[in-house]
């Protein structure tokens, strides 16, 4: 797939599925202790991608900075950016400093900025598969764990009604199905709204087709209060619809969960 078609593919998939696309249910498979604590405390966990086992996930290498300095500089100095993005993002940029900077310096500063952004990233992952052998084995400790069924509307509405993930008075949480591609390409860096959306999509919501059997759905925020790589977020009891036990869960552990009211 050539670069332009790749960008079009990402945008089309996101626009088709967001913001009007809401799955009715999402599912999360846990090892027993993780699932038990999630139910007991009524939380879901957002994790910083730097803690992901797959070290290719969400990395800055998915953004192309090299040979983009001229275009970035012109965009940063444009009237459109001055009027719109600076106000929305809540910071002022010293345009005189940008004017004096070389293209290469601008590329380096842009890359440094995006490397710093990942420190506050938080992602929580679900699947749309209700009963998946793959997930039971790989995410539920070889069927010694749990699968929790969530009402997605109740889940996202509760999160959006709280002050969690607010940034300059706006919610910073995005949700989307994962977009699966044959080969992940780097998105050329840019400061326009479309380019920023493409960079975020490519960094957070894209995986290789080898993983498409996971049918993954993600919630993401750029503004998590991450401590030690995780943030636990409270959810409503109404969003928890059902708990399924793996076939290798002990009766003792099943009773522990049932005592919680599930």
Three-state SS string over 104-169 comes to: HHHHHHHHHHHHHHHHHCEEEEEECCCCCHHHHHHHCCCCCCEEEEEEHHHHHHHHHHCCCCEECC
Whether residue 41 has pLDDT greater than 60: yes
Neighbours of 222 (CB within 10 A): 16
The CA distance from 26 to 155, in Å, is 10
Q: What is the pLDDT of residues 86-118, one digit of tens each?
A: 444 445 566 777 788 899 998 898 888 888 888
Residue at 66 is within a domain:
no
> Hey, which of 59-63, 177-181, 209-213, 242-246 has the most confident mean pLDDT?
242-246
For 8, the domain range is 3-51+119-255
Strands 179-181, 206-208: pairing is: parallel
Question: Crossing angle, helix 103-117 and helix 69-76, to 10 degrees?
Answer: 80
Residue at 62 is within a domain:
no
Q: What is the pLDDT of residue 89?
A: 46
Residue at 75 is within a domain:
no
Q: What is the pLDDT of residues 7-23, one digit of tens each?
A: 999 988 887 766 556 89
Residue at 26 is within a domain:
yes
Residue-wise over 154-176: b if at least 16 C-beta within 10 A, else e?
bbbebbeeeebbeeeeeebbbbb
The CA distance from 175 to 216, in Å, is 11
Mean pLDDT, range 22-34, rounded to an integer: 94
Domain count, the chain: 1
């Amino acid at each position: 797939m050539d670069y332009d078609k790749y960008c079009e593919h990402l945008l089309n998939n996101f626009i088709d599925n967001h913001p009007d696309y809401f799955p009715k249910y999402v599912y999360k498979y846990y090892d027993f202790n993780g699932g038990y604590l999630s139910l007991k405390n009524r939380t879901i966990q957002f994790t910083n991608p730097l803690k992901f086992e797959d070290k290719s996930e969400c990395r800055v290498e998915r953004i192309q900075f090299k040979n983009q300095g001229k275009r970035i500089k012109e965009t940063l100095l444009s009237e459109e950016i001055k009027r719109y993005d600076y106000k929305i993002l809540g910071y002022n940029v010293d345009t005189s400093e940008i004017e004096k900077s070389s293209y290469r310096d601008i590329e380096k500063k842009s890359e440094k900025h995006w490397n710093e952004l990942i420190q506050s990233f938080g992602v929580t992952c679900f699947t749309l598969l209700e009963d998946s052998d793959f997930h039971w084995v790989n995410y539920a400790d070889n069927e010694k764990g749990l699968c929790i069924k969530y009402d997605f509307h109740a889940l996202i509405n509760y999160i959006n009604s709280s002050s969690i993930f607010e940034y300059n008075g706006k919610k910073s949480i995005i949700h989307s199905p994962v977009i699966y591609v044959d080969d992940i390409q780097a998105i050329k860096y840019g400061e326009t709204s479309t380019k920023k959306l493409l960079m975020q999509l490519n960094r957070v919501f894209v995986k290789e087709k080898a993983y498409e059997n996971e049918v993954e759905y993600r919630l993401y925020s750029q503004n998590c209060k991450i401590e030690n790589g995780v943030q636990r977020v409270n959810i409503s009891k109404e969003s928890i619809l059902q708990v399924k036990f793996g076939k290798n869960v002990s009766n003792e552990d099943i009773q522990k969960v049932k005592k919680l009211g599930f």
